[in-house]
Amino acid sequence: MEVITSFSSCKFHAKLPRFSTSFFSDHLASTTRSSFYPARFNYRRLPFKMAAPLQVSASSTIGASDEKLETSSSGFTGAHDLLIIGPGVLGRLVAQKWREEHPGCEVHGQTFTADHHEELIQLGIQPSLKGGDVGRRFPYVIFCAPPSRSPDYPGDVRLAGSSWDGEGTFLFTSSSAPYDCNDNGPCDEDSPVMPIGRSPRTDLLLKSEKIVIEFGGCVLRLAGLYKADRGAHSYWLEKGTVDVRPDHILNLIHYEDAASLSVAILKKKLRGRIFLGCDNHPFSRQEIMDLMMKSGKFSKKFQGFTGTKDPLGKRLNNSKTRAEIGWEPKYPSFGQFLETI
């Protein structure tokens, strides 16, 4: 699922004017979306071999000459090159789908340590450390790193903005957690969010979103990310018994669908917009585990939920996002996903 073809070069455009970086200096619903903030900090860059530079003709569509240019080592940026900040599970799927849409373009992945750089190279993603590509700007940037281990998450988001050249799209993958609803009621893109100060977790997300909107980027608030072996269902099954209430409504989106929606938004080149990513089929916690047990595809037995006093959830609907972006999920519901495994 995460295999990506080896990288090559894409068409190049003439050097674009740089935006002032003074404007930029300050993920997970779910999840462990990336290795961007591992517990062990290691700033050493591991050596790696790059493929021999390819010779390509420069694009004449934006005024560049037709002379042969060297890629990769030259520092030139292609018109569809993508920078992924936090190339974990979601980021790597975005890379795969982006390359399918734009074959030949470079995909770069920025991480906090070099621990997973060899893996990224094998996937055709050119790795770098945070701050390692100072001065390089990309037309498309997606921020997929979670806030869990960052000492200054809004600051990291602002710094990431300085890697965007302002041409294509900057997309910040946030969470649906800030929506101010905890009674299992309906919620969509325009529903109110929590006020700053109520929750440290949502404060980080809302402050980061504000920074992104101010410099013209877009925000994608994602519901709970999952795949067969990752997500809330997997955690609950492993635990066996969980002390939370069973009637809490949960909203989901498969990793592949979150990646395809991210790519669709990146391609739109929109500015200052907030979108919502979910499958529009919310389930209670109990319903999710009942579906798993009835599927017969999991050997371990789930014992149950024992909580009674924790908050309820919300019922997300992203019909507005779907209509504007022109997107539909591959997996319309968790139940339908289970039928495919």
> Using one digit for the tens of pLDDT, what is the confidence trace for 286-331?
999 999 999 999 989 999 999 999 999 999 999 999 999 999 999 9
Q: How far apart, in whole angstroms, are the C-alpha atoms of residue 301 and residue 84?
A: 38
As a whole number, mean pLDDT of residues 206-213 equals 98
In this structure, how many other beta carbons lie within 10 angstroms of the beta carbon of residue 278? 27
Spatial contact of 171 and 265, defined as CB atoms under 8 Å apart: yes
Residue 335 has pLDDT above 60, yes or no: yes
Q: How far apart, in whole angstroms, are the C-alpha atoms of residue 277 and residue 174?
A: 10
pLDDT recorded at residue 319: 98
pLDDT recorded at residue 11: 39
Q: Is 165 exposed, middle or buried (0-12, 13-18, 19+ CB in 10 A)?
A: buried
pLDDT recorded at residue 63: 30
CATH class of 21-338: alpha beta
> Using one digit for the tens of pLDDT, what is the confidence trace for 1-27?
433 333 333 433 333 334 333 333 333
pLDDT recorded at residue 75: 64
For 294, the token pair is: 């009835």
Whose tokens are 């390692």? That residue is: 132
Residue 41 has pLDDT above 60, yes or no: no
Spatial contact of 16 and 157, defined as CB atoms under 8 Å apart: no
pLDDT recorded at residue 132: 73
pLDDT recorded at residue 169: 98
> Using one digit for the tens of pLDDT, what is the confidence trace for 245-263?
999 999 999 999 999 999 9
Q: Where are the beta strands (DSSP E) in the chain?
A: 55-57, 68-70, 82-85, 107-111, 125-129, 138-143, 164-175, 185-187, 218-222, 224-226, 241-242, 249-250, 252-254, 274-277, 283-284, 304-305, 314-316
